[in-house]
Amino acid sequence: MPIRTARTTTMAAVAALALFPVLAGCSAGGQSVADACDILTNGTEELNAQGAELQSAALSGDADAIDELIASVDEEISSLGEDITNDEVKPVYEKFAGAFSDLTTQLQDMASIDTSDVDALTEATEAMTATTTELTDASTELTEVCGA
């Protein structure tokens, strides 16, 4: 199935590109920005493990594991954001989490697109590209806010 292959490849790229730079870039510290970044740093262990599992599933072509891991990572990112209350970090993290959630939905929707419908595939791909750009921009901004 070509869509599954594209989806697998895309998710592996998202896991490698989106999660690791954002989460590795925050520093520990006291309250305020540093505290929010500390929450991110401490929350990265589980996300990094899930990212590694996701890459492994992508390489093996295990579509069910990919679906499960995508949902799990999305949930973990959302949950992590509940603990961030800093006025500078929270809105940036919410942009990141929102873009990741949007991309998750787009990946799930991509599986149902008829591969012969070129217009639908093009539209879905363009939407995913725009969302990936939003995710990358939020990742960069989050890294900058956390002072990496």
Per the structure block, which two tokens stand in for 24?
A: 């590795």
Is the predicted pLDDT of residue 18 greater than 60, yes or no? no
Q: Is the dihedral of CA 75, 59, 22, 28 positive or negative?
A: positive
Question: Is residue 144 over pLDDT 70?
Answer: yes
Average pLDDT over every residue of 17-45: 61
Q: How confident is the model at residue 94 (pLDDT cuts 50, 70, 90)?
A: very high
Domain limits at 25? Answer: 2-145
Pairwise pLDDT comparison (8 vs 112), residue with the higher score: 112
Residue 15 Cα distances to 5, 86, 107, 124, 134, angstroms: 15, 26, 13, 19, 15
How would residue 80 be classed by pLDDT, with cut points 50, 70 and 90?
confident
By percentage, how much of the chain surpasses pLDDT 70? 78
The answer to whether residue 85 scores a pLDDT higher than 60 is yes
Mean confidence (pLDDT) of the chain? 75
Query: Tell me, what's the pLDDT at 20?
Result: 39
State how many domains the chain has.
1
Reported as a single tens digit per residue, the pLDDT across 35-78 is 888 888 887 777 777 777 877 777 777 778 877 888 888 888 88
- Checking if the pLDDT of 21 tops 70, the result is no
Residue range 107-134: average pLDDT?
85
Task: Check residue 106 and give its pLDDT.
Answer: 82
Q: Which of 83, 104, 81 is nearest to 94 (CA)?
A: 81
